[in-house]
């Protein structure tokens, strides 16, 4: 389970890095940045879903509060990102 958590955290950090790279790319329009971020969200979301789906023990012990916390963290990151575009 620890390896799974490390993989999940690593994937999340990769996602954050990729989103940051897109936001710093001044050659992209805001619309293109948003499209690219949506693609990244789908791509990394699928990876994260696969990681959690493949490991029953991880799902078994990860409480709803942890999921809610991760969802809130994601929402905060999204809001912060959107605010940087304004």
**pLDDT confidence bin for 13, thresholds 50/70/90:** very high
Q: Is residue 24 within 8 Å of 37, Cβ to Cβ? A: no
Among 66, 38, 39, 51, smallest CA distance to 11 is for 51
Q: What DSSP line would sit under 12-60, residue for residue? A: HHHHHHHHHHHHH-TTS-HHHHHHHHHHHHHHHHHHHHHHHHH-HHHHH
Domain spans in the chain, listed from the N-terminal domain onward: 1-6+31-86
Query: What does the pLDDT average to over 59-68?
Result: 69
Say what the pTM is: 0.60
């Amino acid at each position: 389970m620890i390896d799974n958590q490390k993989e999940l955290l690593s994937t999340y950090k990769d996602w954050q890095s990729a989103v940051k790279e897109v936001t710093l790319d001044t050659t992209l329009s805001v619309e293109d940045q948003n499209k690219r971020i949506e693609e990244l969200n789908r791509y990394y979301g699928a990876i994260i879903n696969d990681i959690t789906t493949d490991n029953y023990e991880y799902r078994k012990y990860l409480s709803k509060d942890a999921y809610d916390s991760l969802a809130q963290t994601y929402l905060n990151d999204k809001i912060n990102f959107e605010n940087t575009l304004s």
